Chains A and B, each alone.
Chain A
Amino acid sequence: MEDNKVKTDKTDQMSSPLKKSFKADSRQIERRVKLSGFLRNVFAVSIAMTLLVLVFLLVDIVRDAVGWLDWDFLTGNLSIFPEKAGIFGAIMGTVYMMLIVIPVTFILGVSTAIYLEEYAKPGRLKDFININLSNLASVPSVIFGLLGLALFSRLMGLGGSILAGGLTMSLLVLPIVVVAAQEALKAVPGFLREASYGLGADKWTTVSRVVLPVALPGMLTGFILGVSRAIGETAPLVVLGIPTLIMKIPQSVMDDFTTMPIQIYYWTLDTVLTPEYANLAAATIVVLLVVLFLMNSVAIFIRNKFEKKF
């Protein structure tokens, strides 16, 4: 306010109408600048509050998990007594499921991307597959659960097995993996392909020996991020009817299983009866988040270490 006074005093030497309009102008400018600064702070605070929620979330979960998360919890079997319960079965269930999801989505996803980027001629078919993929990416995950229930569990008779769960999850993450692989292929510069053709290589040699090695780090980054979504996804598996209480460790892909998110879900539902289940759920969440964090770190490491810039 003081600065303002000094400024307006300078206008004393001007003629009266000019002085008036200048005064009004400077007041208006000041107001506009102040409004801009004020709203800038409002925007910044809204971001800060969002990030604060993230902090609250992590603190809440870690606080609940402390004292419950130990080696026995990681290696123990499921039990109805909270003190004895462990999540070894859920961890192994997640691992087994990934043994299906990883190869299936890698082969399907990378092949689809190579077809679309390297082989498909521009036209209806290519557009159709692309539009279909982007639609599929936004279908709610519960709906994939209904597809898996009707197709894999009931029609093929796979029930609530690891195979049924893994295939359902594969279809769910497929669009993400394809789009990531497409981006990686698009980033390969055209002159590399031309150089390869110039040396007399045919299409497949060019794709397999020149394009794929260059695109692989980018593909892997997107692949890991896509697949890690399958680790945290709950709804499709619940819809498949994955049972609540699995005491034994799965031995083959046809066995029933449970995963970490499902374990979290059922423990959270049962906190009304047994309050300690909230601690078990929180401890499982910590394990889940650590796994996801590690996978993301690996993805970022691959991107930074191996990706070539042209």
Chain B
Amino acid sequence: MENQTKIREMIQKRVKEKKRYMDKIVPLFLLFMALISVFTTFGIVLTLITDAFRFFAAVPLSEVLSTDLAPLNKDPRFGFVPLFIGTITTSLIAMLVAVPIGLAAAIYLSQFASQRVRRLVKPMLEVLAGIPTIVYGFFAYSFVTPMLMNLIPTLESKNALSPGLVMGIMIIPMVASLSEDAMNSVPEIMKEGAFGLGSTKLEVAFKVVIPAAISGILASIVLGISRAIGETMIVTIASGSSKAFTLDITQSMQTMTGYIVEFTSGDAASGTTGYYSLYAVGLLLFLFTMVMNQLAHYISKKYREAY
């Protein structure tokens, strides 16, 4: 009898110990795992800053802000302005496509489309969003560019126009779905009020829904810009690697992302100024996109109307 209670006590003690052990060790393990994503960010910032610092120590700022880019010359020149122009130009073309069409799609899907059309169109837009960017790059180079050459005979086989347009198509689903979410979260009662006063669907969309959803819409556009700035494969393939300073969109232009890809696959020797220039461009790219994301975050917080 005494033995039995002893055994029971022992079992209970072990169960308790095990419980306490699990309840202590598990949260610690999970916290450690969660912190790895934080370490990743620190890793990115640290590598970018240390190597970019070496670059900026070797190259004067006046050279960085010039238009003279020739990293592979015997006497290399690192003027990044052509890269900025390339990035801005292709992103601008992309947004000229993505913003009007993306918003039109969002308005149509949230205000006009029947349930059936919506169920048909939304998965197709998701397919468009899920296609790898390398596929878009191939499409821009092998289909869009030759097609545009028929319209614009002076177009070069590598140019800024074609990847810009294709990048815009790639960003449409993103602008459309984020804006549509914002429009759908406008309360039904506000729309019904406007309908009750005799508004047409279009008037409800433009005078009630869009003003009420403007924070979400603007945030989607800013995130689209950030995506366009960071997009790599489409511009690398279809826009080429010309480092000349030009504003002509029928010519080849290199973007910041394209520069990083070209230079690394060209096996930049570690320790040279050319190698560090990658990280300088990377740092600028990182800062650009971070500013854009914070801006999107700020807009959607600041101008959100709570209902």
A interface residues with partner B (beta carbon < 8 Å): 29, 32-33, 35-36, 39-40, 42-44, 46-47, 49-51, 53-54, 56-57, 60-61, 64, 107-108, 111-112, 114-116, 119-120, 128-129, 132-136, 138-147, 149-151, 154, 171, 174-175, 178, 202-204, 228, 231-235, 238-241, 261, 264-265, 268-269, 271-272, 278, 281-282, 285, 288-289, 292, 296
* Contacts A146-B47, A272-B157 supplied; 6 other A-B pairs, CB < 8 Å: A50-B128, A116-B34, A140-B230, A146-B44, A202-B19, A232-B131
The digit string for B33-46, where 1 denotes a CB below 8 A from any CB of A, is 11111101101100
Task: Tell me, yes or no, whether B161 is within 8 Å of chain A by CB.
Answer: no
Taking a contact as CB atoms closer than 8 A, the residue among B130, B133, B202, B223 that contacts A40 in the complex is: B202
Taking a contact as CB atoms closer than 8 A, the residue among A46, A108, A120, A128 that contacts B36 in the complex is: A108
| With known contacts A35-B200, A234-B233, A296-B130, A119–B30 Cβ distance under 8 A | yes
Q: Is the CB of A115 within 8 A of B237?
A: no
Taking a contact as CB atoms closer than 8 A, the residue among A47, A111, A228, A261 that contacts B104 in the complex is: A47
| With known contacts A36-B203, A56-B143, A238-B264, A204–B26 Cβ distance under 8 A | yes
Q: Is the CB of A64 within 8 A of B33?
A: no
| Closest Cβ–Cβ distance, residue B261 to chain A (whole Å) | 5
Q: Tell me which residues across on chain B come within 8 A of A142, comparing CB atoms.
A: 230, 232, 257, 260-261, 282, 285
Q: Tell me which residues across on chain A come within 8 A of B26, comparing CB atoms.
A: 119, 203-204
Taking a contact as CB atoms closer than 8 A, the residue among B30, B138, B142, B286 that contacts A143 in the complex is: B286
Q: Tell me which residues across on chain B come within 8 A of A64, comparing CB atoms.
A: 142
Q: Tell me which residues across on chain A come within 8 A of B61, comparing CB atoms.
A: none
Q: Tell me which residues across on chain A come within 8 A of B121, comparing CB atoms.
A: 47, 51
CA distance A272 to B241 in the complex (A): 15
**Would you list which residues of chain B between 1 and 48 have a CB under 8 Å from chain A?**
19, 22-23, 26-27, 29-31, 33-38, 40-41, 43-44, 47-48
Task: Tell me, yes or no, whether B125 is within 8 Å of chain A by CB.
Answer: yes
Q: Is the CB of B47 within 8 A of A264?
A: no
Q: Is the CB of A47 within 8 A of B105?
A: yes
Taking a contact as CB atoms closer than 8 A, the residue among A120, A178, A202 that contacts B37 in the complex is: A178
Q: Tell me which residues across on chain B come within 8 A of A202, comparing CB atoms.
A: 19, 22-23
Count, chain B residues at interface, CB 8 A = 80
Task: Tell me, yes or no, whether B91 is within 8 Å of chain A by CB.
Answer: no
The 7 closest A-B pairs by CB, nearest first: A140-B230, A232-B132, A111-B33, A36-B202, A115-B30, A43-B108, A36-B200
| Closest Cβ–Cβ distance, residue B75 to chain A (whole Å) | 25
Q: Is the CB of A265 within 8 A of B134?
A: yes
* Sample of 9 A–B contacts (CB below 8 Å): A43-B104, A47-B101, A49-B101, A61-B135, A129-B37, A135-B293, A235-B257, A281-B138, A285-B138
| With known contacts A40-B201, A239-B264, A278-B142, A140–B229 Cβ distance under 8 A | yes
Q: Is the CB of A114 within 8 A of B135?
A: no
Q: Is the CB of B232 within 8 A of A135?
A: no
Q: Tell me which residues across on chain A come within 8 A of B257, comparing CB atoms.
A: 140, 142, 235
Q: Is the CB of A271 within 8 A of B142?
A: yes
Q: Is the CB of B200 within 8 A of A32?
A: yes
Q: Tell me which residues across on chain A come within 8 A of B260, comparing CB atoms.
A: 142, 145-146, 239
The digit string for B230-241, where 1 denotes a CB below 8 A from any CB of A, is 111100110000
